[in-house]
A and B are shown apart, each in its own frame.
Chain A
């Protein structure tokens, strides 16, 4: 029956009821728990019980704190500081990792668990701060700020792109200034540069297995974490969060162990010569980025001298299943693992390919030859390129071009340059015959040949006239 004269308020309620009846599904969660509102203190108490922490009441609000026993983890800061991108030895380090309600660093994503770690002498200490209720965020953030000294360096894994911007957002929303700090060491790009060649992805779990010999048991999957916390907030059990706290604890511990691994495996120039050659080649690139070219060449020399057999830990199983579903498919699971790496996920496969390319002898030698030229060690560079130009592959063609460039521009021997170009053309022809044409390189070579040739002809003509 239609009723015509109704209070507008009632009408809204009826419209909402009809709205729900007409729109089942799309808006609602799969299995929303019966909605229950409970005071922050109750939530804090339940949370603390589940994760074996303590409720801290600051007077202004409550949060939950979990403190782990300190562990013995010596770190030679002086030696660490000799590596590229590392913080100065006198700065305190604060390792930081957050668990959040989502992946966007936008305003509605909350960091509900902030794990912090720092060194007190040779002891690594860890503390975790948990948010029992949205309303208590200000108090929690004040506490986080207290643990970050002004002169400290943050140590994170993908924290530059994710954890830290997210925390800055949270501080701003809570009308607070984000804590000052002296620097930020994000280990993700370092790991990618040094070790990616022997890992299938750069998730922290994979890194632990490949480098630290740590295998996590009963670890919670990243994508499950937001749901566990939000379920708790909506009145669900707190128990599932115990595993999240464990997961975060391991993450923060791994940051420290990873630093220690870097220092021990690569910090000492003599000791590092036994490292896998790919690690050394990656380290060389890291040195090169900082324009420490001599150290870069040393690394490459060590790499070339190193045992060519692949490192034992190559066979790390892929941690994430291959993605067959297209990005828009609703069946595609959101990948919460190892923090999203924007450049890897958004800009296509080519970067991934580049990282996965093995560090074979040829590639290392090419890097080395480039470096020698930059250092002005022209003769050595030329020798290196000439050696490479004897190979069968694409690199040989490239090497011929590079050697020709050096002969033409640095040494000033046009005739020798022409001969090198001709050798390059022969190599390219051979590849073409094998069905592997290199049109861009061939064009480069032909262009070079024409220029050198005409110059030589002109010079000969000049000489002839002079005679």
Chain B
């Protein structure tokens, strides 16, 4: 099979199939990237994640407790070099588990704070698809 390239080939997935990305770096565009996996938590949880430079994105957040979805939310984010805003598109299930996202911005780099209420076995996973 020939491969024709007009630009660089950038490997976006690691060996496990997840998008390769490290906090603080820009997220590859057009692919869903896991930006937070809280691990198992038992008390209130909050984590700020530097998601790099982005100007628009879709953010999907899952709250899972003992392997059952308790809350899930979809957000849209947008911003410039100095500011950013984020709005919820939809939310389902036990709507009091996930906290609203908060976002701060410095030189285009967005830092998003994810938080949740947690009982034993709770986990928070967040994914971003950067558009721009």
Partners in one complex: no
Interface residues of A (CB under 8 A from B): none
Interface residues of B (CB under 8 A from A): none
